[in-house]
Amino acid sequence: MEPALAWIVLGLPLLGAATLAAWPSEPPRSMTRVLGVGPMVVSFLLTAWLYVQMLGENSDDRLVVSRVWEWIEIGDLSIDVALQVDPLSVMMMLVVTGVGSLIFIYSTEYMEHDRDYRRFFAEMGFFVFSMLLLVLAANFLFLIVGWALVGLASYLLIGFYYEKPPAVAAAKKAFIINVIGDLAMVIAAFILVVELGTLNYLLVFEAAPDGLGRGAVEAVTILLFVGAAAKSAQVPLHTWLPDAMEGPTPVSALIHAATMVTAGVYLIVRTHELYELAPYASDLVAITGAVTLFLAATIATVQVDVKRVLAWSTISQIGYMIMAAGLGAYGAAMYHLMTHAFFKALLFLSIGMVIHGLAGAQSLDRMGGLGRHLKFAYVATAIGVLAISGVPGTAGFFSKDEILASAWDAGDLGRVLWLVGALAAGITAFYMFRLLFRTFSGPEPEGGYGVHPQPSRWPMAAPVAVLAVLSLWGGWIQVPRGWTWIIDWLEPVIGRESIPGQQAELVTLATSIAVVAIGAAAAWWIFAVDPARPKRLAGRLVATRRLLEDQFRFDHVYDRAVVGPTRDLAEYLYRRMESGFVDGLVRGAISLARGSAMGLRAAQNGLVRTYVFVMISGVVGLGALLAWVVTR
Amino acid sequence: MNLAATTPILIVGAGATISLSMGLLPWRFAQRHGPTIVALVGLLAAAVMSLVFWGDRIEAFDGSLHIDRFSMLLNLIFITAAIAVILLSIREPGAVDRRGEYASLILFSTAGMMLVGAAGDLIVLFVGIELLSVALYVLAALEVWRERSLESGLKYLIVGAVGSSILLYGFALLYGATGTTRLGEIAEALSGSTLTGEPLVFGAVVLIVAGLGFKASAAPFHMWTPDVYEGAPTPITAFMSTATKAAALAAFLRVFTGGLVEIEADWDLIIGVVAAAAIIVGNIAALVQDNMKRLLAYSSVAQAGYLLIGVAAGSIQGAEATLYYLLAYLVMTLAAFAIVIIREREVIDGDTVGALAGYARRRPVHGAVLTLAMLSLAGFPPLSGFLGKFLLFGSAVEADMIWLAVIGAIGSIISLGYYLRVLGVAWFGDRPQSAAEQGLESPRLAGLVTVASGLAIVALAVAASPVLDACRSAAESLLGA
Amino acid sequence: MPAAVAGVGWLCPMELNDYLPILVFLVAGGVIAGALLTLGLLGPRRPSAVKETPYESGILGATPVRQRFSIDFYMTAMLFIVFDIELAFLYPIAVTLRDDGMLGLIVLLVFVFTVVEALVYVWKKGALEWR
Amino acid sequence: MSGVPLFWYLMLSFGLFGLGLVGVMRRRNPLLMLLAVELMLNSANIALVGFARQWNNTDGQIFALVVMAVAAAEVVIGLGLVVAVFRQRLALNVDEMSSLKG
């Protein structure tokens, strides 16, 4: 195995991005395409080669740390510039460069009409570099560096359409929430330095069982989880992800669906040695994941913007992964991470074809009946919906069932979480089929589409086709009672993971098929059978709700009429939790800061005597403080 | 006694007097370019001499000057700042027609800072601080035809003189308590004692913290900072916020980590509190500023807080972190001010945040440097600002002052609010068509300083290891190694 | 040398070795500062045009009371102060010049040279001309 | 020890310091403010000289001499600025020089 390959894989996207950025003027589009897509594809091929080489090694020899130079040396603490190449990082590299290549190819067409063609590919290349750095880092400091850089790339790309104020606001929100996570991780790193004197993964994991006290290990893992939750949009740090849909759709597909947002899952799996020492933190992780997956699934049912539906579903799906990781089913979490990358990228890209075809429209109210015009997108979206809903045989089916089955086997807490997960699987099927029907079947929207829907050309269609195949068949790499390639592959990193028992699998299989069927059927009955039904259902509430006058609320009101209590909960969560509690807290903090700033501004009145007076008060205050210190 | 080791200071002082006389010469070329050339040559020579004498401590003038690694490292910081500022002010209106005065005042100020860095004696320390301040009072008011420049100078002078008196009184009390003005002898005299029952030392500590805190513009002694920074000519503002800050921190380290180290347990808390206050006040007040110079002034208040964390830690490790962060702070601040200076030449309202609207898109290289500078100031990994904060917070944790590290971390989050605003405006903003262009030729040398600072921000992070080694040996020399 | 520091008894005429001195400092300073600060605030302030006029035995003043000095007056005064005090340094040097030897002489020459250069500068700039 | 005890030097010094401080805060004329600052610097000088006598060494006296020169430099700069303000026909009132604030 040649670990230098990892450096090349890491460097190529950065090189491409830097070349693009440094190009003195806007380069020709063909040049931009070559410099943008080329490094990505080569990186993917090299990663694949690395993977093949690794397959040839004994499982004991598959972990290599490639160290270049010592970055910092302070006393005993030494931090190297080093990459850790092992099955886990190679798996992440495959996902990042593989899905990334497809999305880059797609973008050459999708962004064709954008004036900032070069900037788009430069920033995307920078993102891929940062993401690879994150997964390849061999110590916590470089993990944090990568972690922060992907946040920066995400900030730049969410704000890509900087003319739109909401995009800039969303970018800022995402960045600030992510920095909160970064800081939690920095503090965790401090604790590790103080307690263990090293930040090197291998040394930390080796020393942790004896070197870290119970409290310290819980603190470290909880702080790391704050970082993970911020990046992976887990409650209560999830509010930035739906807003992040202001970015271009390929960005949403790559960063806010397939790769960056799953970094939290990667982090927990990477540091699982610590989580295994911290039962409380692990339970917290699992419960947070379960709460998130349920909350996000219910909220997704009332969204009108197609990309927001997908954003909430991303939060929900990551909730599954986080829950699995909290319950110790690391293999299942990584498995779902991979299949989710396939089908969520597929969904974003195929919905992106619709948006592209409609010249930018994103509201479900402006869609319907598009299946006749955009057949390819219809089929692709349908495959994605089947996969995410977990229809048997598709990718999502195997991975989601493995998470649920592992939960069933994970004690009392696991059973409760299993119930939540199974229920949410039904809701998932409902909202995804709703998305499918409202977009592609039924009548055209009143007033038409505004433009004639344009089918997409091959650079967009080909990646979608590849992802569709992966979403359909990619799940077969690990089949219950059959073969366990994922678990075998990850064994050098996460140890031999026990596979769920037969009872767990049978119960889960039966339940999930049932709830998915119910959810899909409900969506079919409401949205597909009779196009007038949603309106009729909504009509019953006309007398009691004046909201109907408001066209935008249509959706909310009939949805409420249909599913009743669940729906009420969704509304409640959306209104209270979303706009009320979490945002209220953020808003409160911001207005506090602004208020104090204005106060300070008023105190700064330009008069010398005020300044002298404050100084003297400062002296008196320091004197009092020192007197207290001395006499204490 | 080895006088040779004092050559960097002597060269800078001589350069100051020579460039003053150059301005008086009857030849036009000598008048216009002589002082600048002499100043630059002198500074470079002083930098070379500083590197030549990099080594063990040499005590000059009976121990009142300590020529050691610490003073040499700081010499390099001051000289870098001075060279950058002289390059930045080539076309500055305040400097035209009085090149001689301008260059010599900057060199005098630099010589004062070098005295502070090498001070082994309270008298030298005080003279150094006053030399640097008095020169800056004049420089701040140099554009005498502009009311705001005058106001800035006069305010700085009055408030600064009060600050100096407070500091001087502190020194007087310290002398009264120990009977000596030599820092080394003060350390000996204080060994094994505490503040209990020693009112003189008690008063000295409070007053010195306040007086030096004033020079470093740490809260609550910072209030002059934004006004003076806004009113002064921008290159001078850049000089004040980089070199003066470094000199003040050098004085803190010399007095506290060097001289008063024996009673560290008594003063670490109040310096920690001053640091925390500066971080909170600076970061919050910066949130609502629309003028770049004011914004950077408040940001420099907050940065003074971060720098003081290393002093509060009271350890070699803390001093090392402060020195590293001073280097990082120097280059990121220079980068930010260089861009403000360029904008001031181009448009009329050049020192406002709005003047930067869309600038980064038009000048991507400058935009990239501005981005590096702002992110580094905010402590964004992996830039040098992050590394410096990491080390500073680490030293606080190590010194059992976790609360200080937490306040620093919270301050960093708050600071994103305004650093990001600047970046947002620069990359995403659009300047109204009506905005007035000044149309002056934008200074090429300022562009050079911008790019060089940007590269240095990256280089300090990449080559952190050798730089940290130098900082460590400089910090160790504080305690006589 | 800790003994020298520990013995702060001499600081205070009474044998109180504790915080009394600092307390006295604070009280004294506080009283003076407080009095001056508050006294001005206590009385009513009702400035009027009549009160503002200078008192000249009941007769209205014929000339403005404040005569402005020429700026040159300030210039000369300033320069005098600076050079005067700089030269005060010559006295301590004179006292020890014999003991300091060659080095002392060099230092003295450097000092004098600097002062003279300042004088030349001032001269060339025309600050010594009385217009 | 003969003569006035150190305590009284310190009291005098401290009183002058407070006086100067109040002067800086109460006065509006920059010249008078500079005068007040001089008072503060020289109060420190009294303390220095007092301590020097107490310790029977010259460090404090040298310090005081240096401070005198420094104070002169400061006050001359101040006067220079005042002259500059005067030439701009601005009011000699520090309170009116508050365009920089916020």
Strand ranges in B346-388 using DSSP code E only, listed in sequence order: none
Query: For residue D99, which residues of chain B lie inside 8 Å, CB to CB?
Result: 147-148, 151
| pLDDT for res A605 | 84
Tell me whether residues B126 and D63 touch, CB distance under 8 A.
yes
**DSSP string computed for A580-612:** IIIHHHHHHHHHHHHHHHHHHHHH--S-HHHHH
Of chain B, the percentage scoring pLDDT greater than 90 comes to 47
Average pLDDT rounded to a whole number, residues A128-134: 92
Task: Tell me the chain D residues in contact with residue A615 when contact means C-beta distances shorter than 8 Å.
Answer: none
A24-83 pLDDT, tens digit per residue, is: 777 888 888 888 899 999 999 999 998 888 888 887 778 888 888 778 777 677 888 888
pLDDT score for A584 = 66
Q: CA torsion angle for A157, A163, A167, A172 (degrees, to 10)?
A: 80
- Cα–Cα distance between A441 and D26 in angstroms, integer? 81
Place of tokens 């035809």: B145
What's the token pair of residue C49? Answer: 């045009």
- The mean of the pLDDT values for chain A is 83
Could you give the CA distance from residue B460 to residue B80 in angstroms, rounded to a whole number? 14
Give CA–CA dist A157/C82, Å, rounded: 62
pLDDT of residue C45: 66
Q: Which amino acid does the sequence have at C14?
A: M
pLDDT band at A563 (very low <50, low <70, confident <90, very high): very low
Question: Do A383 and A346 form a contact (C-beta atoms < 8 A)?
Answer: yes
pTM score, two decimals?
0.82
Identify which has the larger pLDDT, A407 or B194. A407
Give me the interface pTM, i.e. the ipTM: 0.86
Question: In a 10 Å sphere around its CB, with 0-12 CB exposed, 13-18 middle and 19+ buried, how is residue A585 labelled?
Answer: exposed
| Cβ contacts of D40 on chain A, cutoff 8 Å | none
Token readout for B275 is 């640091």
Q: Residue A558 pLDDT > 50, yes or no? A: no
Residue B126 has pLDDT above 80, yes or no: yes
Which 600-619 residues of chain A touch chain B by CB within 8 A?
Answer: 600-601, 603-604, 606, 608, 610-612, 614-615, 617-619
Domains in chain D (CATH in brackets) are 6-90 (1.10.287.3510)
- The pLDDT score that the predictor gives to residue C12 is 42
| Residues A381, D34: Cα–Cα separation, whole Å | 79
Rounded CA-CA distance A222/A226 in Å is 6
Q: Does A605 touch chain D (CB under 8 A)?
A: yes
- Residues in chain D with CB shorter than 8 Å from the CB of A608 are 24, 33, 94
A346's CB contacts (< 8 A; 6+ apart) are A380, A383, A384, A387, A464, A467, A468, A470, A471
C-alpha A241/C-alpha A348 separation (Å) is 14
Contacts of B137 in chain A (CB under 8 A): none
∠ CA B48-B315-B198 to the nearest 5 degrees?
115
Confidence of residue C8 (pLDDT cuts 50, 70, 90): very low
- Average pLDDT of each block of 10 consecutive residues along chain D (102 residues)? 72 88 85 90 92 88 90 88 79 75 74
Dihedral sign computed on CA atoms, order B54, B56, B62, B63: positive
**What DSSP character marks residue B175?**
H
pLDDT of residue C3: 37
Structure-block tokens of residue B285 = 């007040």
pLDDT in tens, B354-385: 888 888 888 888 999 999 999 999 988 888 99
Residue B372 has a CB neighbour count (10 Å cut-off) of 25
Q: Give the residues across from A484 on adjacent strands.
A: A478
pLDDT at A538: 57
**B338 or C28: which leads in pLDDT:** B338
Task: Please state whether beta strands B58-60 and B65-67 pair in parallel, antiparallel, or not at all (unpaired).
Answer: antiparallel
Provide the H-helix boundaries in B384-443. 384-398, 402-428
Nearest by CB to residue B197, choosing from C18, C25, C114, is: C18
- Return the number of other C-beta atoms located less than 10 Å from residue B400's C-beta: 10
User: How far does the CA of residue C36 sit from the closest CA of chain D (Å)?
Assistant: 7
pLDDT at position A534, please? 64
Rounded CA-CA distance B92/B235 in Å is 8
CA dihedral B369, B374, B380, B381 (to 10 degrees): 20
The CA-atom distances, in angstroms, between A430 and each of A69, A309, A364, A516, B418 are: 53, 12, 15, 8, 43
d(CA B217, CA B248): 9
Token couple for B238: 């850049």
Q: What mean pLDDT comes out for the span A183-200? A: 85
- Interchain CB distance below 8 Å, B172 and D48: yes
The residue whose two tokens read 């403080």 is: A625
Other CB atoms within 10 Å distance of the CB of residue B243: 28
Contact of A138 with A200, CB cutoff 8 Å: yes
Task: Name the burial class of residue A77, with classes exposed (0-12), middle (13-18) and buried (19+) by CB atoms within 10 angstroms of its CB.
Answer: middle
Domain positions in chain B: 3-478
What is the DSSP-derived secondary structure letter of residue C13? S
Letter string b/e over residues A229-266, b meaning 16 or more CB atoms within 10 A of that residue's CB: bbbbbbbbbbbbbbbbbbbbbbbbbbbbbbbbbbbbbb
Q: Is the pLDDT of residue A565 over 60?
A: no
Average pLDDT over residues B95-121: 90
Which residue is closest to B221 within chain A, CA to CA?
Answer: A615
Q: How far apart are CA B137 and CA B157, in angstroms?
A: 6
Task: Report the gap between the CA of B28 and the closest CA in chain A (Å).
Answer: 40
Examine the pLDDT at B479 and tell me if it is beyond 50.
yes
Pick from D9, D14, D85, D88 the residue to mutate for testing the C interface (most C CBs within 10 Å): D14
From residue B111, how far is each of A13, B73, B82, B320 by CA, in Å? 48, 14, 10, 23
Q: Name every residue whose Cβ is closer than 8 Å to that of residue B90 and which is 6 or more positions away in sequence.
A: B36, B443, B445, B446
Would you say residue B275 has pLDDT above 70? yes
Tens of pLDDT, residue by residue over C13-23, are 444 445 566 66
* CB-CB contact of B2 with B60 (8 Å): yes
Residues in D touching B130 (Cβ below 8 Å): 70, 73-74
* Residues contacting residue D56 through CB under 8 Å, at least 6 positions apart: none
Q: Which residue of chain A has the CA closest to B198?
A: A630
Residues 26-65 of D with CB under 8 A from A: 26, 33
Task: Output A583 or A310, whichever has higher pLDDT.
Answer: A310
In DSSP notation, A504-573 reads HHHHHHHHHHHHHHHHHHHHIIIIII-TTHHHHHHHTTTTT-GGGGSGGGHHHHHHHHHHTHHHHHHHHI
* Touching partners of A (3+ C-beta pairs < 8 Å): B, D
Chain D neighbours (≥3 Cβ pairs under 8 A) are: A, B, C
Q: Work out the minimum CA distance from D69 to partner chain C, whole angstroms.
A: 6
For chain D, say whether A612 makes contact (Cβ under 8 Å).
yes
Exposed/middle/buried for C53, CB within 10 Å: 0-12, 13-18, 19+?
exposed
Beta strand B58-60 with A483-484: parallel, antiparallel or unpaired? unpaired
Residue A73 gets which letter from DSSP?
E
Residue C88 tokens read as 């005060």
pLDDT at A497 over 80: no
CB atoms within 10 A of CB B139: 29
Contact (CB<8Å) A179/B397: no
3-state SS string for chain D: CCCCCHHHHHHHHHHHHHHHHHHHHHCCCHHHHHHHHHHHHHHHHHHHHHHHHHHCCCHHHHHHHHHHHHHHHHHHHHHHHHHHHHHCCCCCCHHHCCCCCC
Mean pLDDT of all residues in A472-477 = 82
**Hey, CA dihedral for A525, A526, A529, A533, is it positive or negative?**
positive
**Least confident stretch, A595-599, B93-97, C66-70:** C66-70
Report DSSP state, residue A110.
H
Terminal Cα-to-Cα distance of chain B (whole angstroms)? 17
Check pLDDT > 80 for residue A229: yes
How far apart are alpha carbons A51 and A2 in whole angstroms? 10
- What pLDDT shows up at residue C6? 40
The residues, ordered by sequence, that sit 6+ positions from A566 with a Cβ below 8 Å of its Cβ are A298, A427
- pLDDT, chain B, mean: 88
CA distance B74 to B242: 12
> Using an 8 Å Cβ cutoff, are B12 and B111 in contact?
yes
Domain range summary for chain C, segments of one domain joined by +: 2-52, 71-124
Instruction: Give yes or no for residue A541 having a pLDDT over 50.
Output: no
Q: Do A609 and D26 touch (CB under 8 A)?
A: yes
Amino acid at B22: M
How many other C-beta atoms lie within 10 A of the C-beta of residue A362? 18
pLDDT per position as a tens digit, B25-72: 888 787 788 888 899 999 999 999 988 888 878 888 788 888 889 999
* Domain spanning C71-124, CATH class: mainly alpha
Subunits next to C (3 or more Cβ pairs <8 Å) are B, D
How much of chain C is in helix, strand and coil states, percent to nearest 5? 65, 0, 35
What does the pLDDT look like over A89-120, one tens digit per residue? 998 999 999 999 999 998 888 888 887 888 88
**Can you tell me the distance from the alpha carbon of B253 to that of B239, in angstroms, rounded to the nearest whole number?**
20
